[in-house]
Structure formats: structure tokens, C-alpha cells
A and B are shown apart, each in its own frame.
Chain A
Amino acid sequence: MSTLTSSAAPSTRRYRGWVLPVVAVAVWWLATNQGWSDSGLLVSPQKVAATAWHQFTSEAFWRAISSSLARNLSGFFIGTALGLVLGCLLGFSRLFERVVGPSFNTFKQISLFAWIPLISVWFGLGDVAKVVFLSLAALVPVVVNTCDGLRNVPPAFLEVAKVYGFTRWQTIRGVMLPAALPSIFTGVYLALVYSWLATIGAEYLLVSGSGIGNTLIDGSEHFMMDLVLFGMVVIGLVGWSLNLLARSLERRMQRLYGITPR
């Protein structure tokens, strides 16, 4: 194993991660301040910081981000709830799996964004359409992982349950659900990631109302690179925080159920 590990101390290894970003920002700063290029697209770091400050202090930005988040979360919760129900039905009932499974597998192959035109005709361009689209985005990973988790419960566990004469309900509650929990969490976690991606996509394609995606599109249409860069960072930060939140929730739930994290 020694061939594949680094000999450097952990403290040196930590600061190595900062080398690349620092160099990149330095080059960027030099390039803009020394006037290497007079393209209007090459905005200076100071200007991006100023735009960021301006946005942070403006009310419109907070309205945009809160409406994006509200849509994201409502779509996520609706999609996850429906996904859990559908995934459990698919996981527990052979008959249901036989009837619905193949159709669902075909459905999930269709690129999610291809639904947007149909959704926009059926539900308009407003919040309803966006939430429908977001729930769809969250639904798919939850269903797939819930069903997989329930199907892949180790047979040994089920045999133990049978030996102890568990009823069907006891087997589901005491054996199958806890065993499937890590997989179900993976699904919910993916749903959170996808729904954020879909939030941005929905705002690009269903252009109405306010949202962080609309801010970005505006910046792009007005050739305001500083606004675009700022919007990208915000999208990344929000996605990252959602990620972190999901991770910590997952760990807490796992501890609650006495599952060692995989």
C-alpha cells in the first residue's frame, strides 16, 4: 500500500489544496490589472467582489435566492414523499414491480429536461410548473434507490426473521427497512442534489418570476460577466450547503438506527 500513499505530513497535505486556487486568483488579478487583454468579458476580481457586495446588500438578490430555495425545497419534499411511496410499493410487491417497473425504467431514461416543454404547456410558466418539474427530478433517484435497497436486503437477515417467526409486518419494520435505510438515504441525498440542479434548469427554461437562475441569465444577456461569476459561486455554495446538510442528517439518522456508515 505504501506505493500509493503520500509520505508528506498531513499538515503539508492540507495546504497543498490551496496552492491551485491561490495561483489561479493571482493570475486572474494580474491579467486584469496589468491589462493583458482589453476584452470586456475579462472582469477583475475587485469588480466581482464589488458586485457581490452590491448584491448581498440588495433586497432583490435575497428575494431571488429565497424564492429559488422555497421552490427547491417544496419540489424536493413532494418528490421525495411520492418517491418513497412508489419505491416501497415497487420494493415490497412483486406484482406491482412487474406491472409498473418496466414502464418506470423506460420513463427514467427520458432526459428530465425534455419534459419541460410539455410541463410548460400543461402547467404554465409559473411556480406550479417549476415545482412539478422539481418533484419529478427528486422522485426518480428516491424510487430507484428505495426499491434497490429493499430488494437487496441480505437473504441471511430474512432467514433469521423467518426462523424467529416474525410476522410480515415485523419483518418489514424490524429487518427490511433498517437494512434498506442506507440505500434509501442515498436516494434522498441524490434527490436533493438533482432538485437543486433542476431548480436552476427550471429557471432558465421557464423564464418567469424571480430566482437565482434568472439573475444568472440576466447577467449573461447583458454581458455582465461579474454578475455571472457571482451567480455561479452562489449556486455552488448553495448546492454545497445542501450537500452538507444532507450528509449530517444522514449520519444522525444512521446513528439513531444503529447503522454503521458504509
Chain B
Amino acid sequence: MARATATALDQQQVPGKPLAPVKRLPPSTPRSTPRVVVRVAQGSAWQSRALNRLLPWLLPTALLGLWYLGSERGWLSDQVLPPPAFVYQTLVDLASTGDLWLNASASMQRVLVGFLIGSGLGVTLGLVMGLSKTVEDYLLPSFNALVQIPVLGWMPFALLLFGIGEPLKYVLIAHAALVPVTLCTLQAFHQVPKRLLEVGQAYGFSRRQIVTDIVLPSAVAPIFTGLRLGFTKAWLSLVVVELLASSEGLGYLIAYGRQLFQLDLVMAAVVVVGAVGLLIDRSFEYVERRLNKGRAVIPGRLA
């Protein structure tokens, strides 16, 4: 892109007229720009804001309407697409009988234990490889080779080794979280701004000081990004593992509903899975944004 712009600029230059050397502007203190207040007619501003709020709801409402209409008019049979009211009723039933909490808590426990094991190992592995090039030389090629096999590839192997019990789920979920966390942690170490390291050396920091005062603080935000990715992966794998081999949990609800051709149950469980995933992702995103806000200040202060 830069090149394309440069040639465009070259062509635009008038030939034979050398450019005057650019004079450095005298340093100016940044002025606060005066706030421009645009007076818009009160009514139209309110209307456009309301419209803006409403627009995102247009598509879901339309889809829901179509779904409702489709089942009402009998375009599709109830077995293929249960009416929305029926799905809602199933969801309410699930919640009131306590089945929902039972399965959701089983799933949450699995994903939490697996994620904690996986991310703990991942951060440790990433830290060790990031701090010592020697360890990285020994470990990283094997790690990269094993990463090529997706979680689902490990599944039959783990099934034979561990059976269908809880350890299987913990191992697979931990593996799912481990990979992105390790890679992001390692990358965080590789991406420490060179300028910061140079400043550290100029001040004669010891190796330990460089690690604790420069490397670790600047690695916190990328590591957190890895954790968020790891959790997304863990949640994804949880559903697969439960779909394939379990006797409780949200994924099991989906598999059970599928076996009995109760699509209302399937859809209700999918809604719950999506809602929980969304909620967790949003909270991770919130923390991540706060961490990144702090990070952006560091290079600015140095410049």
C-alpha cells in the first residue's frame, strides 16, 4: 500500500521544480481544540438516535416474525422447526424443574477446571519458553508439531486412554485452552518493545530487573488476550466433548434432544450455550479493554 501511494505521489509532482526543503515547525504547545457544538433541530437528533438504537433489533425481530409466521401457517412441520412459543415453554420448563441449573453447573464446572489447568500450564510453558531461548529451542518444535493435531483429533485417543469419565473432559478442555494461551504468552515475550529493553540496558538493569520491570508488565495484556482466546476454545470444545460423550451438561441436553427428535429442547439448549458464551466473552473483553488502555500509555510517554 505504501508503495502504491508513493508512486501516485511521484506522478503528481511537477517535473523540473525541486521541492523546497521542509522547514521544521517551531514546537507548539498543544491547544485544546474548541468544542464545536452543532445545533441540530432537537426532534431530528432524537429521532436519529432512536433509529440507531432500533436498527440492530430489525433483523432478529424479522427472523423471529418469519419463524412465528412459518410455524403458524404450517410451512414447516413442528418436527423440523418447532414454533418459538414452544421453545420458550421448554426453556421455562427446564429452568423451573432445575434441570437447566443441574446441566449448566456441570458444564461450568468442567469448563472452569479444564480452563484453569490448561491456562495455568499454558502460561507456565509460555513463560519458561519466553524467558529461556534454550528451552524454547528444545520444546517449541515438538509443541508446534503436536498443535497441528486439533482437539478433535486427540479425542479418540483420549477416549481410549481415559474412558468416558470426567478426566476425559478435563484433559480435552485443558488441551483446547493450553494451545492459544501458550502461543500468546510466548508471543508476548517476543513482542516486548525494543525501545523499552534498550532503556533498561542503558540504565544498567540486571536480568531479573529487566524481566520483572519491563518484560512482564508489557506482556500482561497479550497474555490476557491469550486467556480470552483460550476460554473461547475451551467453551467450544466443551460442547463438542459433551455432545460426543457425557451423561449431563448443556452439550448432553443438545445430544439428548437430537436423539429424541425434540428440536425444542435442542434449540433451548443452544440458546443457553450461546448466552453463557456471550456473557463470558463480554466480561473478558471488558477486562481486556481496561488492560489495553493502561498499556497504550507506555509508548506514548517514551516518545
Q: List chain A positions with a Cβ less than 8 A from chain B.
A: 1, 3-6, 8, 13, 16-21, 24, 41, 95, 98-103, 106, 109-118, 120-122, 157, 160, 164, 174-175, 178-179, 196-197, 200-201, 204-205, 213, 216-217, 219-220, 223, 225, 228-229, 231-233, 235-237, 239-240, 243, 258-260
Contacts and interface: CB of A to CB of B under 8 A. Distances in A.
Given A114-B251, A114-B254, 17 more contacts: A4-B131, A6-B137, A17-B137, A17-B138, A21-B142, A99-B58, A103-B60, A178-B4, A179-B1, A200-B150, A200-B152, A217-B156, A231-B156, A235-B149, A236-B148, A239-B148, A243-B148
A219 B197 contact: no
Contacts of B277: 109-111
Contacts of A237: 148
Given A8-B137, A121-B258, A236 B207 contact: no
A197 B154 CA distance: 11
Given A205-B244, A228-B156, A117 B255 contact: yes
B244 A109 contact: no
B56 A102 contact: yes
Given A20-B139, A205-B243, A8 B134 contact: yes
14 contacts: A95-B55, A117-B258, A160-B5, A178-B4, A220-B156, A228-B156, A229-B157, A231-B153, A232-B157, A235-B150, A239-B148, A239-B149, A239-B150, A259-B1
* Main SS at interface, chain A: helix
Contacts of A112: 236
A111 B156 contact: no
- Closest A-B pairs by Cβ, 4 of them: A17-B141, A6-B133, A220-B156, A110-B274
A113 B141 CA distance: 30
Interface of B: 1-5, 8, 12, 52, 55-56, 58-60, 79-80, 131, 133-134, 136-142, 145-146, 148-157, 159-161, 189, 192, 194, 197-198, 201, 207, 210-211, 215, 235-236, 238-240, 243-244, 251, 254-255, 257-258, 261, 263, 266-267, 269-270, 273-274, 277-278, 281
A197 to B, nearest CB: 4
Contacts of B161: 41
Given A103-B60, A236-B145, A117 B254 contact: yes
A164 to B, nearest CB: 7
B171 to A, nearest CB: 15
B133 A157 contact: no
A9 B55 CA distance: 60
B200 to A, nearest CB: 9
* Main SS at interface, chain B: helix
Given A99-B59, A103-B60, A157-B5, A121 B156 contact: no
Contacts of B153: 200, 216, 231-232, 235-236
B159 A220 contact: yes
Contacts of A223: 160
Nearest to A239: B148
Contacts of B160: 41, 220, 223, 225, 228
Contacts of A110: 270, 273-274, 277
A197 B150 CA distance: 6
Given A6-B134, A41-B160, A122 B80 contact: yes
The residue in A16, A115, A122, A179 that gathers the most chain B C-beta atoms within 10 A of its C-beta is A16
Nearest to B152: A200
B149 A204 contact: no
A101 B56 CA distance: 7
Contact of B56 (A98, A121, A243): A98
B29 to A, nearest CB: 24
A103 B60 CA distance: 7
A21 B26 CA distance: 62
A113 B4 contact: no
A100 B59 contact: yes
B207 A3 contact: yes
A201 B152 contact: yes
B274 A106 contact: yes
A240 B197 CA distance: 35
A4 B273 CA distance: 43
A204 B155 contact: yes
Contacts of B263: 117-118, 121
A223 B160 CA distance: 7
B138 A19 contact: yes
A204 B244 contact: yes
A120 B257 CA distance: 12
Nearest to B210: A3
A187 to B, nearest CB: 16
The residue in B145, B150, B274, B277 that gathers the most chain A C-beta atoms within 10 A of its C-beta is B150
B56 A103 contact: yes
A118 B267 contact: yes
Given A179-B1, A197-B152, A205-B244, A109 B134 contact: no
